[in-house]
Structure 1
Amino acid sequence: MKRDMDLVRAILLKIEGHPTPTVEGYLEVDGYEQGPIHHHIDLLKQAGFVDAFCAMDANTEYGFLFQDVSLTWQGHEFLGTVRDPEIWQKTKAGAAKVGAWSVSIVAELAKGFVLQKMTTLGLPVGA
């Protein structure tokens, strides 16, 4: 299964928007089935963007269930750069041109577009 950066962003936004710091049980993301969602939560856990407990559950379609999913500091930082829909669209277009979709490339592109927006708004950038 390929990594889907739109799903990565959607999961992070969903967790951040949850009324409590931790999401228990299934995390539903519009337009996605549980298999890809669970796979991407696992990837986000490996990347250090989320904390999550994986429980075996024979009653689920996939045999496991992520529980107690929450954002880490690193997850909040990444989401902070890709939250804005306009920045996200520019970031995706830039990554497509470069042909690189690593998390570090996506984060750097997004950060660059955030800095451009700050300059456009007349906000100080750098020291």
Structure 2
Amino acid sequence: MRRDMDLIRHILIMVGDSPVPLNATVFVDEAHPFETVAYHIDLIGQAGLADTSITRMSGKAIARAEVSPLAWNGNESLDAIRSDTIWSRVKQRVGATWSMYFTSTMTIR
């Protein structure tokens, strides 16, 4: 599964504005099934952006995922990306950087 930074941003904003921990089901919609949301909550915990609680089934699939208040790094990150205008600029710059990288490293045969 690939990381979706828009989903991570959405989760961080919701958690930053919530006084209580949020279950993954809060973020589930047609574009983001439970498995995708749970994976991204797990990534948020791995990055140290917030406390997370992940319960796995015996096959290692995530059965329950909850994200708690933001950690220091989560608040710092959210402050940097909360604005839609800034977020749009960040995505454009990162996209341009990746495009330039892949264009310069690809060889055409």
TM-score range, shorter chain: 0.7 to 0.9
Higher strand share: 2
Could you tell me whether the CA contact under 8 Å between 1:12 and 1:79 is conserved in 2? yes
Shift of 1:77: 0.5
User: Structure 1 length normalisation: TM-score?
Assistant: 0.65
Task: Give 1:17 deviation, angstroms.
Answer: 2.2
Structure 2 unaligned segments of length 5 or more: list them.
100-109
Q: Residue in 2 aligned with 1:83?
A: 82
Aligned to 2:6: 6
Structure 1 SS opposite 2:69: strand
SS class of match (1:27): helix
Aligned residue type for 1:80: D
How many residue pairs match? The answer is 96
Cα distance change on mapping 1:97 and 1:15 into 2, 3 Å: same
**Cα pair 1:11 1:29 within 8 Å, conserved:** no
**Is the 1:52–1:68 contact (alpha carbons within 8 Å) kept by the matching residues of 2?**
yes
- Structure 1 pair 63–84 and aligned structure 2 pair: CA distance change class (3 A): closer
Stretches of structure 1 lacking an aligned partner (at least 5 in a row): 101-127
Q: Is the 8 A contact 1:53 1:66 kept in 2?
A: yes
Cα offset, 1:74, TM superposition: 0.6
Q: Which residue of 1 aligns with 2:53?
A: 53
2:25 match: 26
Query: Secondary structure of 1:26's partner?
Result: helix
Higher relative contact order (CA 8 A, sep 6+): 2
